[in-house]
Structures are given as structure tokens and as C-alpha cells.
Amino acid sequence: MTEFARELTGLDGLGGLDGKRALVTGGSRGIGAAVVRQLVGAGVEVLTTARSGAAEVPEGARFVAADVRTAEGAEVIAAAAHKEFGGVDLVVHNAGGAQPYASAADIPAEEWKNALELNFLASVRLDALLTPGMRERRTGAIVHVSSAAVLTPVGQFLHYVAAKAALETYSRGLSLELAPFGVRVNTVTPGRTATPGGEATREQWARLAVGPGQTNADDTPPLGREGRPDDIADAVLFLLSGRADWLTGSNLVVDGGEFPRG
Ligand SMILES: NC(=O)c1ccc[n+]([C@@H]2O[C@H](COP(=O)([O-])OP(=O)(O)OC[C@H]3O[C@@H](n4cnc5c(N)ncnc54)[C@H](OP(=O)(O)O)[C@@H]3O)[C@@H](O)[C@H]2O)c1
């Protein structure tokens, strides 16, 4: 950004992120760790959370151990955000995932509940605790991390895909509710990305010997490679930044062109 453009917009090269306070769930590895690293690099004060893995968290970020699937976990995280920073300006709901099964009928009832808690209700609970402060301050940006699997919902993964689909609809609805308060809410939808969670899922698919075309792990994306965590983090940071000031309720699909758009 030129000096002139900076003066004109009041933004630095990173879209005015410097000095903001962020919460990122699942920041100990994969996409979440890339988001944390990039935010710290942009001068953001970051608190991240996972059930374990404090030692893996990128340098410069603070950490609180919690399970986002529970109401108690959400309370612990919100209290830590309040204690560390007095509130947050930016929230990235990144923790997510689920183990695939051979078919939809094989997914145990307990795993349906788990998938909904982790990939959907965790965001609902944390947003309920964190958005009142944002509304009051009349500023804030939230990103929900979904999955391109929603665009091709395969049976072995329906608990996960259905939870992410609910998350997308919720995210859009929340964006309308919070827009009058200057709080923006967007979704980032990654395609296959090289992370520990992504690799574990694809290995499990291979073990289940699900037939070709029956999983969404068969082809190379049109752009010729799978995603890197930073590909997704770039999109997240853009949506959090002042450069996306007129963007809310959007869903940015970052998948190398792989999945069909509606
Ligand atoms: N990688 C892909 O190909 C891909 C594709 C589409 C969408 N996504 C989505 O992108 C997001 C990140 O995926 P990823 O591949 O980077 O995942 P990952 O490598 O498995 O990392 C997940 C992170 O979330 C934390 N986490 C998991 N369960 C948690 C819980 N119950 N409470 C608190 N933290 C929890 C993990 O730490 P602990 O295990 O220690 O708690 C870890 O820090 C997820 O929402 C996923 O659904 C990924």
C-alpha cells in the first residue's frame, strides 16, 4: 500500500490489524497455527485454545487449555480472553474435524453429537459470550471455518458435513443480526489442506477402502496442489482486516478450484 493510500484509508499494509485482540480456536497445529502465526506477525495480541499442545502454539501467542465442545470450555475461554485482554475484537472459530466411517449408517450416535458440538455448537456458545462486548464497542470481526465437503457431501462424513452446513447458515444469519452494530461475520471454506487433521482423515478413508468417487479425497485440485495452511490463513486475515470492511455474510471458498459452486 502506498503512503498516499495509507493516509487515505487510515490502514497499514495489513488492513489495520495492528494492536487488535484476537481469539483463535485450535491454534496448536494446522490451519489454526498458521492463522495465529500470521496474526502475531501483523501485530495482533492473540489468545488461542486447544485441549492440549501448549508447547506447539506459535511464539508470541497466549494459550488456554479448553475443550470447545462443552459449555464449561466456552466459559473458560471467554474468561481467559477477558483476563488477558479485557475483551476481543477478532474471533476465528477454527477448531473442527471428525473421523470418517464406512457409510452414513455406520456413524455412531455419539459421533453425531460430537461433530455437532465441535463443528457447530462450539461457535454458537463462544459467539454468545463474546459478541455482547463487540456490540457494545460497535466493532469486531468473526470468521467461522467451514469445509468444502459441504459442497460435495459424502456419506462417510455426513455428521461433519451437516454440522458445517449448519455453521454456514448460522454465520450468515449472525452477520445480519450484528451488521447494525458494526460487527462483521464471514465464513472461510477450505478445500483439502495439508494439516495433521486433514492427513488423518485421508488415511482413514484409505483404510476404509471407500470406492473411487465416493470420498472427496480422490483428485488433485485444478490449481495442481492441495492447500497449505497459509493459503487458508491468508483468506482469514483478509476477512478480519479493514480491507474487508464492507464484507459481511460472505463465504470465501479456498480450495484450488476443486469443488462445484452452487
Ligand atoms: N485440513 C483440511 O483438509 C480441511 C479441509 C476443510 C476444512 N477444514 C477445517 O479447518 C479447520 C482446521 O482444520 P485442521 O486440518 O487444521 O485441523 P487439525 O490439524 O486437526 O487441528 C485442529 C486444531 O483444533 C484443536 N481442537 C480439536 N478439537 C478440539 C476441541 N474439542 N476443543 C478445543 N480444540 C480442539 C486441536 O488441538 P487438540 O486436539 O489438542 O484439542 C488443533 O489445535 C477445521 O474446522 C476443519 O474442519 C480442514
DSSP-derived secondary structure for 204-227: HHHHHTPPTTSSS-SS--TTSS-B
Q: Which domains does the chain have, with CATH numbers?
A: 16-253 (3.40.50.720)
Atom of ligand 1 nearest to the CA of 232: 10
Burial bucket for residue 197 (CB in 10 Å: 0-12, 13-18, 19+): middle
Q: Is 94 in the pocket of ligand 1 (CB under 6 A)?
A: yes
* Ligand 1 centroid to residue 56 C-alpha, Å: 14
DSSP SS3 for 189: strand
CA–CA separation, 130 and 231 (whole Å): 27
User: Residue of the nearest CA to atom 18 in ligand 1?
Assistant: 197
pLDDT tier at 1 (50, 70, 90 boundaries)?
A: very low
Task: Please say whether the beta carbons of 164 and 208 come within 8 A.
Answer: no
pLDDT score recorded for residue 207: 87
**Residue 217 clears pLDDT 70, i.e. is over it:** no
Contacts of 21 (CB under 8 A, 6+ apart): 44, 45, 47, 81, 84, 85, 86, 87, 88, 89, 90
Residue 193 CB–ligand 1 contact under 6 Å: yes
What is the pLDDT averaged over residues 82-90?
96
The Å distance, Cα 235 to ligand 1 centre, comes to: 17
- Contact between 68 and 95 (Cβ < 8 Å): yes
Q: Which three cell numbers stand for residue 96?
A: 473442527
From 160, 158, 126, select the one nearest 146 (Cα to Cα).
160
Nearest one of 216, 103, 197 to 150, comparing CA atoms: 216
Asked whether 118 lines ligand 1 (CB < 6 A), one says: yes
Q: Which atom of ligand 1 is nearest to the CA of 118?
A: 31
Q: Is 53 in the pocket of ligand 1 (CB under 6 A)?
A: yes
Instruction: Report the C-alpha gap between 160 and 155 in whole angstroms.
Output: 10
Q: pTM here?
A: 0.95
Q: State in Å: Cα 115 to ligand 1 middle.
A: 12
In this predicted structure, what is the pLDDT of residue 13? 61
pLDDT digit string, tens, across residues 173-212? 999 999 999 999 999 999 999 999 999 998 998 888 776 6
Instruction: Count CB-CB contacts under 10 A for residue 254.
Output: 17
Is a pLDDT exceeding 90 seen at residue 158? yes
Q: How far is the CA of 90 from the centre of ligand 1 (A)?
A: 19
Smallest CA separation from ligand 1 atom 42, residue: 26
* Residues ≥6 apart with Cβ < 8 Å to 186: 141, 142, 143, 144, 171, 175, 239, 244, 247, 248, 249, 250, 251, 252
Q: Which atom of ligand 1 is nearest to the CA of 73?
A: 32
pLDDT at residue 8 in the model = 52
Which atom of ligand 1 is found nearest the CA of 32?
Answer: 16
Å from CA of 98 to ligand 1 middle: 9
